[in-house]
Structures are given as C-alpha cells and as structure tokens.
Amino acid sequence: MPIIVQKFGGTSVATTDKILSAARKAIKAQQEGHQVIMVVSAMGKNTDALVSLAHELMQRPPAREMDMLLATGEQVSVALTAMAIMSLGHKAVSLTGAQIGIRTDNVFGKARIISISTDRMQKLLDDENIVIAAGFQGIDEEFNITTLGRGGSDTTAVSLAAVLGASCEIYTDVDGVYTADPRVVKTARKVSHTSYDEMLEMASLGAGIMHSRSIEFAKKYSVPVHVRSSQEDTAGTIISTVSEDPTRGVSGAAVTMDEARITLTGVPDKPGSSNAIFSSIAHANITVDMIVQNAGVDGLSNISFTVPSAELTHTLEAVQPVVETLGIQQLTHRDNASKISVVGIGMAEQSGVSDRMFRALGEHGINIHMITTSQIKISVLVDRDQALEAINAVHQTFELDRVYPDAVPAESPQATPATDPAAAANELQGMEELAITDISLDSSQASVSILGVTDQPGIAATIFEKVARENIIVDMIIQSYIDDSDIANLSFTVDRNDVDRTVAVIQGIQDQVPLQKVVSNPTVAKLSVSGIGLRSHTGVAIRMFQSLAEAGLNIEMINTSEVRVNVVVDESQGQAGLEALNKAFADVIQSAG
Ligand code: ASP
Ligand code: MG
C-alpha cells in the first residue's frame, strides 16, 4: 500500500477545529488507499510563546533545556491530533521524535538527523493506524531531546517520506508556490510546478514556504513534495525535478528587504586575502549572503558582500581586525539595501535574461549597486526605498503573471517507493552532511572588467544589451560599487574566442557609458564548487578560499549563490586549483546521480 506523509504546520493545527480538519484530510487519504503518517508542528505560535517564557527567566537559556522545552509544543499537538482522529472513529497513535527513532547529533537547537528507524511506524501502519509523528524533534545518543532548528517539522516530514519511499504533502496557510510574494506583487500567480533547484535558490529569499534543509533532503532523495492549502481542497504546487514552463528563462522573482552591504576597497590582491576576511566572519557565526570580488588592478581588488541588516554591527566587529592586518585601504558600509533576485532553470539555456532585468530596472530609474549571477539566478542590490518598485518592474518585464498557452505541461513525478526501507534508512546515515555534487574547472573563458563605470541607472542594461546584440554569451557577471565615488566596477566572463570582440564593443560605447578603463584577461580558469546546503553549511566558501590560499592561488573574481560558489583565477593556476579543491572536499564529495 502506498504511504503518504502529510505535514501540518502551526497555523494548520492552531485550534482544535483546525486539528479536526487536518484529521479529516488524513482519514480521507487512508480511505483512498494510503497508509498515512501525519507530521505536526506546535499549535499556532506556541513555540514562540515557549521561547518568550524561557527569556523571562534567562537571557541565554542553555540549549539543552531550550530543546527540552520547545519539544513540548509538538508533543501537545500530536496527542490532540491522535484524539481528533479517534473522535472521528479511526485508529491513531501519536509518537514523539524519540519514539519514531529519529536519532540526531547533540547540537541542541539545530541538531542534524543521523538515522531514522522505520520498524515501529511500519508496524503501526500495517495495523491500520494513522501515525502522528511529532515534527522538529529527535533524540541524541544519550537520550537527550534535541530539536532540528526553527521550522524543522518540514525536515521531519521529508526525511520520513525519504526513508519510507512515501509521497509528501505539506499543508500550510498558503496554497502553493507563487511567482513572487503576493503581498508584495499583486499580480503574482501560483505555479503548478517548481524545481528543487529553483526552490533552493529562492529559499533564503523570503519565499519562506519551506525550511531549506527540507528541500535539500527532498532533492537528495528525489521526494516530490506537494505544497498545498490546509483550508481549501485545491491543488497546490509540486516541487520536483521539473519546472512549470521550461521554455521560460525566469520563473520567479523575490526580494529580501533588509540587507546591509560592506565594501572593502584596496584589498591586497594576493593569496589568502578572501580567506582571512571570510573566515573571521564565519567564526563569528554570521552567514554572508552575496559575495562579489572584481578582478584586481594594480595589485588591489575590491570585495563587497552583504549580510542581514541585523548582523551588520556584529560583522563590522569581526572584519575590523582583518582590515588592519591585511592593510585594506577602506571599509565602508551601508544599511539601506535590498536584494532583488530572479530565478529560472530555463535561464541556463537562454541568453538575454540579465539585460532584460537590468533594462527594466533602468527604465524605472533604479540604480543597481551590486550584481551577482549563478546559472539559474541573477541577484542585484538596490536602494531599499526602491525595492518594491524594483520587484514589481521585474515581475512585469518577464510577464510572470501570465501562463503561456504553448507551455509544455509539466508531468508530476510519483514517489519511488523504497524497495528496502531498512536499506534506505541506513542510507540516511549522514544524509545531513554537506553534499558537494561537483567540483569543476572551466578553461574556456576570458574575463573582462570595466573599471570606473559611472554608476547610474541603465548602465548595466546598455552594456549587456550591446554585448548580447553581438551574440556574445556572458557567463558570470559581477558588479561591485564603491561608496562615495559614484563609480562601479563591472566584471564578467565570456568565451575566450569572444574576448576581443567584447572589448571592442565596450570601447565603442564609451559615449553612452562613461568609464575609466577596460581590462581583460584572455585566459582565465573558473573553478566551481556546487552542492546542496552550501548556505546552511557556511564553511564552504571558507574551505574553498582556504585551500586555494594554501595552494598559493590568487583569486581574481568571486561570486556565490545558494548552490554554487565560483572563483576565477588565472588559467595557469586552474589545474592546481582543481586539485586543491578536490583534496579539500574529498570527505564530502558525492558521485553525481
Ligand atoms: N514548532 C517549530 C517552530 O515553530 C517547528 C516547526 O513549526 O516546523 O519552529
Ligand atoms: Mg512553524
């Protein structure tokens, strides 16, 4: 009999009435021929309430006691949910994380799952029970109660589905995944399908529908996830390997309102600089968001990065000592930025996406301060007071409100039942470890840097439109901004065969795009580390910079996204760089597929 895991978030079990309606959904699935596992979160805002109680007593409650406390929220909801099912005349058994056999490490507050035993659940299911599993919690080797981090019930649900070969439904207060946050973009539309990669790239962008770790799990174990409304009986969005309309370059847009930018100018362009900067930030436990470094000139480069506004002070404290030891000329920071991103798996096969985005912003008089691109995402930093206008302009330019009639309808893949649940559970060992899927060296590219570009709306659009018109495909784009100077530096990579033409194009548009200097490196090497969980494992960029520094490599350009970190070095150092990275990530590299 097929197994289905249905997860109900806090708002979907906030009252006994809502618990009853969740119970009815589970009973219906059982009547339709499924074995049903419900995973439930704490009722309503109960977890927040428990956090506040703890803070009435202590400013920094010990993590172990915090987990002991927070896990009670889910224990309340599983018991009530079991009662609701029984009150409707069906069999149910509630289980805590420990009783399900969710073994975790002992990192309280953000424990990682080590293994799940399926025997007890399977027996109860075979006995016609609906099994109600507490989300968000597990147990460590010494029987301490642990929690998986806020929002962790999604991870519980997806990992149970993975070990049981079950399909997974996430019932929530939104009815699916939208092209943009409908509170911010009125014309945003629900999509029928979205891919794991798009969700991962969007996860930290305030899409906020699911915990990103749960999507990493789903991708790694090919669990299709159906996100749908707990209020209405409508189809939601299926997250799997397919996207709604593969012909589109862009499938969604997002804004992160509160970003702070830090710019380091005059960073000695030598091995180890980036490593020194970012490891000090990582040691302070701060997750850096965008990182851009432009090609250096005269032995000096500029590095800009963003952190959540709330972390700005803390970050400045961490970076200040490095500014002194490295002899960095200037550190400036601004806390008035927002990040606008577009994502689409179709982007990897299309050109002309970035210049369309830049043009839309330029037409609205919106200045772009920073740019960073990945294969399937383009992110720009703009002034916060223009952020809402910017996201709407971008949503409109890519017509995200429209369904194209000739779009190939996406197929919804079915969950592959685990043939041997015990083996699958075993495979779960270490499933939350960092998974690097690919380390690659691309020696086909050249870099072009435009230094001292006048920083005003529409410049990036003009440059990339002209380049696109010559049929030159641009790969990595990086722009950093220099405070108080009204100039920006823009670097990008193109195919080596196109570098001379590209430089000529740019020199030919100096009347429209005032700039100081165009420099190119006709033979660069791009090194990329791709994988799952690069953001939740903050150490990836650091490990990468560190190993390259130890190998004596000088990094010319950097850009980062959720699923990939790219650096550009001179071609003469490409092979050595690849070897250094393979060695540095040897313990976590996974064979593709
Ligand atoms: N109750 C926990 C929280 O509020 C876990 C969850 O809801 O997923 O973070
Ligand atoms: Mg929640």
Please report, for the domain that includes residue 156, its CATH number.
3.40.1160.10
Residues ≥6 apart with Cβ < 8 Å to 575: 441, 525
Instruction: Answer yes or no: are the C-beta atoms of 398 and 355 closer than 8 Å.
Output: no
At 462, list the tokens.
Answer: 């003009």
Whether residues 31 and 160 share a domain: the answer is: yes
Residue to mutate (ligand 1; options 51, 52, 150, 209; most atoms within 8 A of CB): 150
215 Cα–ligand 1 center, Å = 16
What is the rounded (10 degree) CA torsion for 43, 191, 592, 4? 40
What is the position in ligand 1's atom list of the atom closest to the CA of 150? 9
Whether 270 and 157 map to the same domain: the answer is no
Ligand nearest to the CA of 154: 1
Domain count, the chain: 2
Shared domain check, 370 and 264:
yes
Ligand 1 atom closest to the Cα of residue 148 is 5
Strand, helix or coil for residue 246: coil
Nearest-CA residue for ligand 1 atom 8 is 151
Query: What are the two backbone dihedrals, phi and then psi, of residue 271, each rounded to the nearest 5 degrees?
Result: -55, 135
Mark which of 169, 190, 220 sits at the end of a domain: 169
Quick one: 159 and 261 in the same domain? no
Query: How confident is the prediction along the chain (593 residues), in pLDDT tens digits per residue?
Result: 899 999 999 999 999 999 999 999 999 999 999 999 999 999 999 999 999 999 999 999 999 999 999 999 999 999 999 999 999 999 999 999 999 999 999 989 988 888 999 999 999 999 999 999 999 999 999 999 999 988 899 999 999 999 999 999 999 988 899 999 988 999 999 999 999 989 888 865 545 688 777 888 888 888 999 999 998 889 999 999 988 888 899 999 999 999 999 999 889 877 788 888 988 888 887 878 888 887 666 778 888 999 989 999 999 999 999 999 999 999 999 999 999 999 998 887 777 889 899 999 999 999 998 898 888 899 999 999 999 999 999 999 999 999 887 666 566 565 555 545 545 555 555 555 566 878 999 999 999 999 888 888 888 899 999 998 888 888 888 887 777 777 888 889 999 999 999 999 999 998 888 888 899 999 999 999 987 667 656 677 778 888 888 888 888 888 877 778 888 999 999 999 999 999 998 887 765 33
Same domain, 4 and 97: yes
Which residue has a Cα nearest atom 6 of ligand 1?
151
How far is 274 from 546, CA to CA, in rounded Å? 8
| Residue identifier of the C-alpha nearest atom 9 of ligand 1 | 150
In a domain, 270, yes or no: yes
- Write the secondary structure of 123-184 as one string of H (helix), E (strand) and C (coil): HHHHCCCEEEEECCEEECCCCCEEECCCCCHHHHHHHHHHHHCCEEEEEECCCCCECCCCCC
**What was the pLDDT predicted at 417?**
53
Q: Report the distance separating Cα 587 and Cα 379, nearest Å.
A: 31
Give the number of whichever ligand sits closest to the CA of residue 134. Answer: 1
Whether residue 559 sits in one domain with residue 465? yes
Q: Are residues 160 and 16 in the same domain?
A: yes
**Ligand 1 centroid from CA 197, angstroms:** 24
Q: Is residue 177 within 8 Å of 194, Cβ to Cβ?
A: yes
Find the CATH number of the domain harbouring 284.
3.30.2130.10
Atom number in ligand 1 closest to CA 42: 1
Quote the ligand 2 centre to 147 CA distance (angstroms): 13
3-state secondary structure 182-212: CCCCCCCCECCEEEHHHHHHHHHHHHCCCCH
Q: How far is the CA of 315 from the centre of ligand 2 (A)?
A: 28
Shared domain check, 155 and 258: no
Ligand 1 atom showing the smallest separation from residue 48 Cα: 4
Ligand lying nearest the CA atom of residue 73: 1
Crossing angle (nearest 10°) for helices 353-363 and 459-469 = 150
Ligand 1: which atom is nearest the Cα of residue 45?
Answer: 4
Ligand found nearest the CA of 50: 1
Compute, in angstroms, the gap from residue 318 CA to the centroid of ligand 1. Answer: 31
Any domain includes 86? yes
Query: Which of 126, 284, 252, 241 is closest to 178 using CA atoms?
Result: 252
Tally of CB atoms within 10 A around 550: 14
DSSP 420: -
Q: Which DSSP state fits 410? A: P
- Say if 194 falls within a structural domain: no
**Nearest ligand, CA of residue 152?**
1
Residue 177 token pair: 């995944």
Q: Which atom of ligand 1 is nearest to the CA of 10?
A: 7
The 3-class secondary structure across 525-537, one letter per residue, is EEEEEEEECCCCC
In a domain, 591, yes or no: no
Phi, psi of 95 (to 5 degrees): -135, 140
159 CA to middle of ligand 2, Å? Answer: 17
Q: Is the dihedral of CA 588, 161, 170, 416 positive or negative?
A: positive
Based on the fold, state whether residues 156 and 258 are members of the same structural domain. no
SS3 389: helix
Q: Is 260 within 8 Å of 309 (Cβ atoms)?
A: yes
Which atom from ligand 1 is nearest to the alpha carbon of 151? Answer: 8
* CA-to-CA dists, residue 162 to 2, 91, 333, 385, angstroms: 13, 24, 44, 43
Half-sphere exposure of 443 (CA within 13 A, CB side): 9
Query: Distance (Å, rounded) from C-alpha 54 to C-alpha 60?
Result: 9
Atom of ligand 1 nearest to the CA of 153: 8
324: containing domain? 253-401+436-584
Residue 274 forms part of a structural domain:
yes
**215 domain-assigned:** no
22 CA → ligand 1 middle, Å:
17
DSSP 3-state percent helix, strand, coil across the chain (nearest 5): 35, 30, 35
- Which amino acid, residue 253? A
153 CA to centre of ligand 2 in angstroms: 7
Walk across the sheet containing 145-147 and list its strands.
113-116, 102-104, 137-139, 145-147
Burial of 17 (0-12, 13-18, 19+ CB in 10 A): exposed
149 CA to centre of ligand 2 in angstroms:
10
Q: How far is CA 304 from the centre of its chain?
A: 20
How far apart (Å, rounded) are the C-alpha atoms in residues 186 and 188? 6
- Report pLDDT for 17: 97
Pocket test for ligand 1, best of 12, 69, 136, 173 (most atoms within 8 A of CB): 136
**Residue 156 alpha carbon, nearest atom of ligand 1:** 8
> Residue 537's pLDDT is what?
62
User: Torsion angle of alpha carbons 540, 545, 550, 555, nearest 10°?
Assistant: 150
Q: Which of 119, 141, 169 is the last residue of a domain?
A: 169
Tell me the best of 41, 45, 52, 147 to mutate to test the pocket of ligand 1, counting ligand atoms within 8 Å of each CB and taking the most: 41
Is 139 found in the same domain as 274? Answer: no
Closest ligand 1 atom to Cα of 74: 1
205 lies in a domain?
no
Who lines ligand 1 at CB under 6 A?
A: 9-10, 41-42, 47, 73, 135-136, 150-153
Report the distance separating Cα 116 and Cα 39, nearest Å.
Answer: 14
User: Rounded to whole angstroms, what are the CA distances from 556 to 38, 219, 503, 521, 571?
Assistant: 50, 32, 18, 10, 11
Cα(515) to ligand 2 centroid in Å equals 50
Burial, 303: exposed, middle or buried (Cβ in 10 Å; 0-12, 13-18, 19+)? buried
Residue 206: left (phi > 0), alpha (psi -120 to 50), or beta?
left
Q: Which ligand is nearest to the CA of 40?
A: 1
* Helix, strand counts (H, E) of the chain: 17, 24
Q: Which residues of 501-522 are buried (b: 16+ CB within 10 A; e: fewer)?
A: ebbebbeeeeeebebeebebbe
> Which of 169, 203, 220 marks a domain boundary?
169
Cα 126 to averaged position of ligand 1 atoms, centre (Å): 29
Are 144 and 276 members of one domain? no
Ligand 2 mean position, distance from CA 10 (Å): 5
- Residue whose CB lies within 8 A of the most ligand 1 atoms, among 7, 11, 70, 78, for a mutation test: 70
Atom of ligand 1 nearest to the CA of 149: 9
Which-ligand-closest: CA of 136?
Answer: 1
d(CA 288, ligand 1 centre) in Å: 24
Residue 429 in domain = no
Q: What is the pLDDT of residue 386?
A: 97
Q: How far does residue 73's CA lie from ligand 1's centre (Å)?
A: 9
